[in-house]
């Protein structure tokens, strides 16, 4: 069984510094802050095939 991708919900101190500098790029901040809701690992097809991590990371890259 593959390991599910479980990124931290809270912003790290490094991420907080980056967020402060992203005034015109708020969509990236929005995606980072809601990442845990958008990619909750509830994709049964991907889980069955062992693609849960890859699927979630590809969604972030798109």
Does the predicted model carry a pTM greater than 0.75?
Answer: no
- Burial track 22-51 (b if 16+ CB lie within 10 A, e otherwise): eeeeeeebeebeebeeebeeeeeebeeeee
pLDDT of residue 19: 80
Can you give the pLDDT at residue 13? 92
For the chain, what are the domain ranges? 13-61
Q: What pLDDT was estimated at residue 16?
A: 85
Tens digit of pLDDT for each residue in 4-52?
767 778 888 998 888 888 777 777 777 777 777 766 665 565 556 655 5
Instruction: Average the pLDDT over 47-59 and give the result.
Output: 60
């Amino acid at each position: 069984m593959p390991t599910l991708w479980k990124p931290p919900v809270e912003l790290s101190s490094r991420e907080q510094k980056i967020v402060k500098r992203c005034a015109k790029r708020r969509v990236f901040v929005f995606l980072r802050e809601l990442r845990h809701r958008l990619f909750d690992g509830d994709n049964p097809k991907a889980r069955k095939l062992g693609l849960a991590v890859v699927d979630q990371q590809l969604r972030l890259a798109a």
